[in-house]
Amino acid sequence: METILFLAHTQADGNLLNVALETLGAAVELSQKLQTSLTVGLVGETVQAAADAIAGCGAKRILAVQGKDFSASRYASDAAAITALARQADASLILAPTTSRFSRALPGATQRLGGRIETHVSGIEPAGDTLQIQRWYYRQRMKATLSRSQRPWVLLIDSGVFSAWQGAAGNAAVENVAVSLDAACQRTSVVGEQAPSSQAQTIRPDAKLLFVAGAGWNKKQSDGQIHLKDAEQLILGFLNKSKASLGSSKSLVDQSSEGEAVLSFMTHLNQIGQTGSTPRHPKGLATCCHGEEPHAVGWRFINERRAINLDPNCGWAQGKADVLYVADAFAVMAKVNQLLEG
């Protein structure tokens, strides 16, 4: 019989991220389907508030590695904490959210545990005596369903796949698991965080809309001129009003490293597609984007998709968008901004 461990780390405010609650939702559902017990493992400076918030999830035990040494996102301390929690829980299945912190620490911790790990998991389903998971290969170009015999099996769950767990808070009894860090685990110190050198916050993972700006924005327009400043004002204006997240096609990002004029707020971090991210948002609006697969994988996980493009046969939109407006994006977005203002 499987034993399930749900792992999460707290944020600076002591709470859990939404993707952690989504993973908890998946873990609770799986434990019910497999009729097995669920253990919660938390890592952070202090975890009581987070444990109380999920006290009603039905976990048999809530284990924690907590203290100042575990407040920061650092490989050595996180891997030690995760390994200790997994061993204490004697877990065969470990479900954890896809966060930068766990994406760094869990593969090495899995190695220590002698287990196997699957990341970017987008589906979990019991199948007879086994458990099958789904994930994408070749940068979201093909989907596989697979199972494994090795245990522990660690599954890093992508955001936006499962519904967040909702339930009653309570007073959780937290069992502390002692982890001592030697000097070798403290060679790295986290100094802080910094935003990239761009003019505005343009990446919003929790936004309802992904706005994709393609290379067409910084090409010559119908008057034979490049209108980069106009493009910047229109895009930033739209992002501010709609609170959308900004994505860019690879070609646009590449142009900056090739010395061509590009939108000043666009960085590599905005890149979506084959060598960028494939974010999950309910809606997506692509403007001036061109290209066939694989560039179009950047909006593989966008539910409702619309595009504005001068080319009605554009491979970015044909067969991939719900609606394609054949129009000048400069003109349309100017009107959209006016309407959003009013």
Partner 1 sequence: MSTGLHIVVCGSLVPDPLQTLTPVQGPTGPALKNELMLPAILDPWAGHALYEAANLAKKQPGSKVWLVSLGNKAKLQQLMMSIAQKVPFELVPLDGPAGGFTDPFEVAEALAGAIEKIAGLDRSKLLLFGGCASAVRDAGVTMPMVAERLGIHDQFLAVDEIDVQTDGSFKVLERIEGGRYQVSQCAGMPAMLAWATGSLPEPPNNPQVGMLNMRTIMPVLQKAQPALLKGEGVIFASVELPAQRRETKIVKDMPPEEIAKEIVAWLKD
**Element containing residue 198 per DSSP (H, E):** none
Least distance from partner 1 to the Cβ atom of residue 210, Å: 12
Backbone φ and ψ of 290, nearest 5° = -130, 160
Least distance from partner 1 to the Cβ atom of residue 34, Å: 18
Q: Stretches 23-31, 36-44, 118-126, 217-225: which one binds partner 1 (CB under 8 A)?
A: 118-126
Q: Which of 36, 103, 122, 233 binds partner 1 (CB under 8 A)?
A: 103
Q: Does 8 bind partner 1 (CB under 8 A)?
A: no
Dist CA 102 CA 116 (whole Å) = 15
Q: Does 339 bind partner 1 (CB under 8 A)?
A: yes
Binders of partner 1 among residues 60 to 89 (CB under 8 A) are: 73-76, 79
Contact yes or no for 321/315 (Cβ under 8 A): no
- CA angle, corner 208, sides to 203 and 211, nearest 5? 55
Q: Which of 66, 202, 218, 248 binds partner 1 (CB under 8 A)?
A: 202
Q: Which of 92, 218, 249, 271 binds partner 1 (CB under 8 A)?
A: 271
Q: Stretches 36-44, 132-140, 172-180, 213-221: which one binds partner 1 (CB under 8 A)?
A: 132-140
Dist CA 19 CA 246 (whole Å) = 20
What are the tokens at 158? 């992508």
Q: Which of 136, 165, 217, 299 binds partner 1 (CB under 8 A)?
A: 136
Q: Which of 35, 180, 194, 222 binds partner 1 (CB under 8 A)?
A: 194
Least distance from partner 1 to the Cβ atom of residue 7, Å: 16
Q: Which of 2, 52, 104, 126 binds partner 1 (CB under 8 A)?
A: 104
What are the tokens at 284? 């997506």
**Element containing residue 302 per DSSP (H, E):** strand 302-309
Residue at token pair 């284990």: 63
Q: Does 283 bind partner 1 (CB under 8 A)?
A: yes
Dist CA 100 CA 174 (whole Å) = 25
Least distance from partner 1 to the Cβ atom of residue 254, Å: 9
Q: Which of 23, 39, 99, 218 binds partner 1 (CB under 8 A)?
A: 99
Q: Which is nearer to partner 1, 39 or 101 (CB)?
A: 101
Q: Does 199 bind partner 1 (CB under 8 A)?
A: no
Least distance from partner 1 to the Cβ atom of residue 109, Å: 8
Q: Does 204 bind partner 1 (CB under 8 A)?
A: yes
Q: Does 327 bind partner 1 (CB under 8 A)?
A: yes
**Element containing residue 315 per DSSP (H, E):** none
Q: Stretches 43-51, 56-64, 137-145, 164-172: which one binds partner 1 (CB under 8 A)?
A: 137-145
Backbone φ and ψ of 272, nearest 5° = -120, 160
Pattern 226-245, binding to partner 1, x per CB under 8 A? ----------------x---
Task: Report the DSSP beta bridge partners of residue 174.
Answer: 62
Q: Which of 32, 33, 60, 138 binds partner 1 (CB under 8 A)?
A: 138
Cα 157 → chain centroid: 9
Q: Which of 5, 91, 209, 212 binds partner 1 (CB under 8 A)?
A: 209
| Burial classification of residue 98, based on how many CB atoms lie within 10 Å of its CB (0-12 exposed, 13-18 middle, 19 or more buried) | buried
Phi-psi region of 14 (alpha: psi -120 to 50; beta: other; left: phi over 0): left
| Burial classification of residue 255, based on how many CB atoms lie within 10 Å of its CB (0-12 exposed, 13-18 middle, 19 or more buried) | middle
